[in-house]
Structure 1
Amino acid sequence: MPLPDAVAAARRAGFDAVECHFPYDTPPADLAAAGLPVISLNTPPGDRAAGEFGLAAVPGRIAAARAGIAQAVDYAVAAGAGAVHVMAGYSQGAAGAEDTFRANLAHACDLAAPQGLTVLIEPLNPHDAPGYHLASLDHALSIIAAVGRANLRLMYDCYHIARIHGDVGAAFARTRDVVGHVQFAGVPDRGEPDTGTVDYRTLLPALRWHGPFGAEYRPRGGDTLAGLGWLGAFRALA
């Protein structure tokens, strides 16, 4: 669906808000008018055909990374979004990647703060994203401490954390103070959250997280609406 139509469908299905990965082909005013609050969006991924998936930790791409950060902040403000996820990219082990990432994050936070925006970083598991620069909670925590900006927070994706660290609840307990947003999906296939090895009906209330939960998954049957049978039961957990 065109993005505004997808947002309207999410509203009819019973969601309270949306997240958008890369909404840039849609005018931000159209997204803002689509009927649901926008929680967050991602910085542009770079050249997907060349294998890029984020630029902020890629040495040699600083100018492009910062242009993307500025674009994301401007779009978030115009669309009424609350946060920007700054994507690190595939640069694990590259010389200068960590310094590049930290400098770009500091820049992003300083650009976002006057607009009241949160900057998010997200560890991606190496099964799905081999070579992604940010691949563990400990790494994310060290970056947040080193950058030292109050608006830099952790995107806590339960699916990725389960694949990286196993115990989602224990990992959340030790990172709660820096969490800015929570996402979930079935483990290990990233399908609907009502089946798999993580019992979200028990886990989500136990987290005692009072912000939104983002359902970031891939419908097993390929039809989003047909797979929403879980939504009513999960809403009743709130």
Structure 2
Amino acid sequence: MTRFSANLGFLWMDRPLPDAIRAAKAAGFHAVECHWPYDTPAADVRTALEETGLPMLGLNTRRGDVAGGENGLSALPGREEEARAAIDEAISYARATGTGAIHVMAGFAEGPQAHAAFVGNLRHACAQAAELTILIEPLNAHDAPGYFLRDTALAADIIAEVDAPNLRLMFDCYHVGRTEGDVIDRLNAHLPLIGHVQFASVPDRGAPDHGEVDYASVFAELARLGWDAPLGAEYKPGGDTDATLGWMSMGA
């Protein structure tokens, strides 16, 4: 049976994070993950996790000046101090809540200086939190034009360059499907590097029961490949989350 993780950055956004964790448990999810939980006291999150028995798989570093259009700091040259403060904050929150992974967000940047900044900040993250998984995630150019980490090939090159055992690829089937196509082929190509898998319909980022990607086939392929960690449901429900969960039967 395929297991699923509820991404609470999109699902049950109408309630506080601890209550969203409880809703995920009631709906039959095996884990949760989030985006930016920092406004919720870590103790409250940990209490909800312990109450439900769900692990928190991952969280993101802060994006920076969101109102100013920023979407991550770690590939921004000259912002290393701020980027590392965001990484350290994420590490502290992850440790306080028992979260297993941190997605280090690159941000909008390009060129050799951005590359060097990202590699340096990732080395910092990996060294500071050797017991945690550090994730990097390519974002598609339709939703995040100008994002530094644009595809899985670049992510693979950076993982090789940093050469840290806890640096892994966040493989989001939605972003890969939007930019690179053939999700199953990319999964097979990058499986040794993958630390977490997420999904949503392509191209509308809704529930995975429609669209260009056949998720029944994707879930079956992951099972064939021996992937047994929960898969992250990171889709926009467009209304009541509970009303969108019929797709979970694809994991039976």
Category of TM-score, reference length = shorter chain: over 0.9
> For residues 52 and 210 of structure 1, what CA distance do their matches in structure 2 show?
34
**Does 1:99 find its partner at 2:99?**
no
**Does 1:24 find its partner at 2:38?**
yes
Specify the SS of the correspondent of 1:96.
helix
> For residues 160 and 177 of structure 2, what CA distance do their matches in structure 1 show?
23
- Following superposition, the deviation at residue 197 of structure 1 comes to 0.9
Correspondence for 1:200: 215
Correspondence for 1:214: 232
Alignment of 1:35-184 (within 5 A): 35=52, 36-93=54-111, 96-113=113-130, 116-184=131-199
Correspondence for 2:5: none
**Does 1:234 find its partner at 2:247?**
no
Amino acid paired to 2:251: R
- Structure 1 vs Structure 2 CA RMSD: 1.0
> For residues 12 and 102 of structure 1, what CA distance do their matches in structure 2 show?
40
Specify the SS of the correspondent of 1:181.
strand
Correspondence for 1:13: 27
Specify the SS of the correspondent of 2:25.
helix
> For residues 215 and 157 of structure 1, what CA distance do their matches in structure 2 show?
10
Residues 12-62 of structure 1 show CA distances to partners (whole Å, capped at 9, x for unaligned) of 111111111000011112111212210000011111011111000011211
TM-score by length of 1: 0.95
Residues 138-196 of structure 1 show CA distances to partners (whole Å, capped at 9, x for unaligned) of 10000000000000000000010111110001111111111000000001100000111
Specify the SS of the correspondent of 1:9.
helix
Amino acid paired to 1:108: A
Specify the SS of the correspondent of 1:49.
coil
Structure 1's unaligned 5+ residue stretches are none
- Give the ranges of 4+ consecutive aligned residues of structure 1 lying more than 3 Å apart after TM superposition: none
More relative contact order, 1 or 2 (CA 8 Å, 6+ apart): 2
- Following superposition, the deviation at residue 211 of structure 1 comes to 1.3
Range with bigger deviation, 44-53 or 204-213: 204-213
Residues 91-125 of structure 1 show CA distances to partners (whole Å, capped at 9, x for unaligned) of 134x5100000000000000010xx1000000000
Percent identical residues: 57
TM-score by length of 2: 0.90
> For residues 203 and 52 of structure 1, what CA distance do their matches in structure 2 show?
32
